[in-house]
C-alpha cells in the first residue's frame, strides 16, 4: 500500500472522533481485502480462501465435507464463504476475480468458464501438480475433462455432473403397469411410447402423468433438441435447426395441452406435485433427490427418457477454478490444488445429493454402487448435454432465463411453438450482438 506523502514541514492533521473511527474501519476493511498482514504470517498456517454457491442440501453436504477436510489438514487456515446461487454469485465472482485477491479457489459451473474469462480472470490449472495428487484425465469422466480444457489448457477441476433425469413414483408406476421386472421404469424409444406411459400413470393418479418445471423449460427443450441432433451456434449469425426446435417445443406443448402434465409448475411446486402424488413421473434435475428422500418417498430414477433416440439429458458440472493473481503465490496454489483433489477423492459424500462424481474411482467403487437410486443413472453423465458455448450461455446465464420466460408460454398455451421459436431467436440474436462484459 502506498503511504501518504508529506510536503515540507506540514504537520499531520488531527483526526476527530468520527474521522478516527472511519479510518479504523477502512483499515480493517483493507486488511480483510488482503492489503494488511497476511493471515499466514499471523497464524503460522497456510491460508486457503474458498468461495462457493451451495445452499440447502448441497450446502449441508459441502459443510460436512469441509469439516472433514479441516480435521485432516490442521496446517491449513481454511476459510470457506458461501454466496447466493445464480447471478448474485457470478457477479460477485467476476468482481472478486478481477481484484485478484478475493479467493484462492472457487466453485463455478463448467458451462460458465469461457464467459467468465478463462485466461483473463481464471488461471490455468497446473496439471503436473494436480497429477501429483492422482488427478489426471484418466481419472475423470472424459467428456467433463474435455469441457474444462480450452486451447489445450485445463481451466477447471471438475467435481461432478448434474443433469435432467426421470423420477418415478414406484407404487404409482407399479399399479400403472409401467415397471420392468427389476422394478424400474420401462424405457421408451419414441413420443408415442412416452405419452402412453404418461397416460397409464395418469389413470392411477387421477390428475397428471408427469410434471416438469414449466418456468425452466430450457432444460427439457435442450434435452429433446439434442436428442434430435440439433445444434445451436451463438456467434455472428444465430444458427438453429427450426424443424428440430419446433418438434421439441411441440412435444412440450402436447404434454400440457393433452392434460398429461400441468400447464404451470414452477421450481418449488414441481417436486411438491410429484411428492404429493399429483403426478407419478417427474422430469427434473438430479438435485431434487435429497428433498424426496428426506420426505421418505418410495421413488426411483433413470436417465432422461430417449424420446428421440439416445437418453440424452441437459446438464452441467460443478468445478473448482483458480484466479489470475496479481502476484505469484506458489504455496496458495499448491494448497488450492490439494484441496480440490481431496474433494474429488471424497466425493461419495457429495453424491448423496444426487450429483454424479466426476472422479471415476469413486463412481466405479462399491460404496457408490450401493447408493440408490443414484447408481441407476450414473452412465448418463458420460454424455451430458451442456448448453451451447457463449458468454451469455450456461447455468444461471441470460440465455436460460430468456428461454425459460419464452418457452413457459408453450406449456400454458399462451404462445404457439412457432411464435415461441421466433421470440427465442430474436432474444438469442440480441445476446449475440451484445459485447461480453468480461
Tens digits of per-residue pLDDT, 217-238? Answer: 999 999 999 999 999 999 999 9
**CATH number for the domain whose boundaries are 40-158+318-347:** 3.40.190.10
Question: Could you give the CA distance from residue 409 to residue 215 in angstroms, rounded to a whole number?
Answer: 9
Residue 60 pLDDT level (bands cut at 50, 70, 90): very high
In this predicted structure, the answer to whether residue 56 has a pLDDT above a threshold of 50 is: yes
In this predicted structure, the answer to whether residue 9 has a pLDDT above a threshold of 60 is: no
- The arrangement of secondary structure in 166-314+386-432, i.e. its CATH architecture, is 3-Layer(aba) Sandwich (3.40)
Question: Could you give the CA distance from residue 149 to residue 429 in angstroms, rounded to a whole number?
Answer: 27
Once rounded to an integer, what is the mean pLDDT over residues 83-106? 89
Q: What is the widest separation between alpha-carbon atoms in the chain?
A: 93
What is the overall mean pLDDT for the chain? 90
In this predicted structure, the answer to whether residue 347 has a pLDDT above a threshold of 90 is: yes
Cβ-count burial of 21 within 10 angstroms (0-12 exposed, 13-18 middle, 19+ buried)? Answer: exposed
pLDDT value of position 326: 84
Once rounded to an integer, what is the mean pLDDT over residues 371-400? 95
Once rounded to an integer, what is the mean pLDDT over residues 68-77? 97
Query: Between 18 and 264, whose confidence is greater?
Result: 264
Encode 151-181: b = buried (16+ Cβ within 10 Å), e = exposed.
eeebbbbbbbbbbbbbbbbbebbebbebbee
pLDDT value of position 40: 53
Tens digits of per-residue pLDDT, 26-40? Answer: 333 333 333 434 555
Encode 184-201: b = buried (16+ Cβ within 10 Å), e = exposed.
bbbebeebeebbebbebb
pLDDT value of position 43: 64
Q: Which residues contact 208 (CB under 8 A, 6 or more apart)?
A: 202, 259, 260, 261, 262, 273, 278, 279
pLDDT value of position 21: 33
The percentage of residues in the chain with a pLDDT greater than 70, rounded to a whole number, is 90
Query: What are the boundaries of each domain within the chain?
Result: 40-158+318-347, 166-314+386-432
Which grid cell sits at 333? 496454489
Question: Could you give the CA distance from residue 139 to residue 411 in angstroms, rounded to a whole number?
Answer: 41
420: phi then psi, degrees, rounded to nearest 5? -65, -40
Once rounded to an integer, what is the mean pLDDT over residues 339-357? 97
Tens digits of per-residue pLDDT, 96-140? Answer: 888 777 899 999 999 999 888 788 899 999 999 999 999 999 999
Helix (H, G, I), strand (E, B) or coil at 169: strand
Same fold across 40-158+318-347 and 166-314+386-432: yes
In this structure, of 71-75, 263-267, 325-329, 331-335, the range with the lowest mean pLDDT score is: 325-329
In this predicted structure, the answer to whether residue 10 has a pLDDT above a threshold of 80 is: no
In this predicted structure, the answer to whether residue 18 has a pLDDT above a threshold of 90 is: no
Once rounded to an integer, what is the mean pLDDT over residues 45-68? 95
Amino acid at each position: 500500500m502506498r503511504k501518504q506523502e508529506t510536503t515540507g514541514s506540514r504537520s499531520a492533521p488531527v483526526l476527530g472522533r468520527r474521522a478516527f473511527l472511519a479510518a479504523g474501519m477502512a483499515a480493517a476493511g483493507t486488511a480483510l481485502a488482503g492489503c494488511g498482514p497476511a493471515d499466514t504470517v499471523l497464524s503460522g498456517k497456510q491460508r486457503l480462501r474458498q468461495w462457493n454457491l451451495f445452499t440447502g442440501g448441497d450446502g449441508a453436504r459441502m459443510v460436512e465435507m469441509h469439516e472433514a477436510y479441516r480435521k485432516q489438514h490442521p496446517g491449513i487456515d481454511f476459510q470457506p464463504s458461501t454466496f447466493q446461487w445464480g447471478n448474485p454469485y457470478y457477479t460477485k465472482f467476476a468482481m472478486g476475480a478481477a481484484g485478484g485477491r478475493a479467493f484462492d479457489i472457487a466453485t463455478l459451473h463448467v458451462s460458465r468458464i469461457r464467459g467468465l474469462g478463462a485466461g483473463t480472470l481464471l488461471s490455468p490449472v497446473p496439471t503436473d501438480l494436480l497429477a501429483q495428487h492422482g488427478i489426471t484425465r484418466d481419472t475423470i469422466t472424459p467428456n467433463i475433462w474435455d469441457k474444462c480444457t480450452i486451447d489445450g489448457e485445463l481451466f477447471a477441476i471438475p467435481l461432478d455432473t448434474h443433469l435432467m433425469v426421470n423420477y418415478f413414483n414406484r407404487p404409482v408406476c407399479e399399479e400403472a403397469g409401467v415397471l420392468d421386472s427389476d422394478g424400474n421404469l420401462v424405457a421408451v424409444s419414441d413420443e408415442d411410447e412416452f405419452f402412453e406411459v404418461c397416460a397409464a400413470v395418469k389413470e392411477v393418479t387421477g390428475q397428471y402423468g408427469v410434471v416438469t418445471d414449466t418456468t425452466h423449460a430450457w432444460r427439457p427443450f435442450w434435452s429433446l433438441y439434442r436428442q434430435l441432433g440439433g445444434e445451436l451456434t451463438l456467434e455472428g449469425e444465430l444458427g438453429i435447426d427450426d424443424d428440430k426446435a419446433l418438434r421439441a417445443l411441440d412435444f412440450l406443448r402436447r404434454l400440457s395441452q393433452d392434460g398429461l402434465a400441468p400447464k404451470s409448475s414452477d421450481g418449488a411446486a414441481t417436486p411438491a406435485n410429484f411428492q404429493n402424488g399429483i403426478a407419478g413421473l417427474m422430469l427434473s434435475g438430479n438435485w431434487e433427490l435429497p428433498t424426496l428422500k428426506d420426505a421418505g418417498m418410495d421413488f426411483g430414477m433413470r436417465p432422461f427418457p430417449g424420446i428421440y433416440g439416445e437418453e440424452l439429458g441437459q446438464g452441467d458440472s460443478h468445478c473448482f477454478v483458480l484466479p489470475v493473481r496479481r502476484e505469484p503465490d506458489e504455496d496458495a496454489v499448491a494448497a488450492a490444488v490439494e484441496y480440490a483433489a481431496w474433494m474429488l477423492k471424497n466425493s461419495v459424500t457429495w453424491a448423496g445429493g444426487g450429483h454424479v462424481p466426476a472422479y471415476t474411482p469413486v463412481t466405479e467403487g462399491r460404496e457408490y454402487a450401493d447408493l440408490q437410486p443414484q447408481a441407476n443413472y450414473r452412465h448418463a453423465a458420460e454424455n451430458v448435454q451442456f448448453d451451447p458455448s457463449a458468454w451469455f450461455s450456461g447455468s444461471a446465464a441470460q440465455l436460460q432465463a430468456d428461454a425459460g420466460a419464452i418457452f413457459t408460454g408453450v406449456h400454458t398455451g399462451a404462445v404457439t411453438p412457432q411464435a415461441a421459436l421466433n421470440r427465442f431467436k430474436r432474444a438469442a440474436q440480441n445476446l449475440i450482438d451484445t459485447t461480453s462484459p468480461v
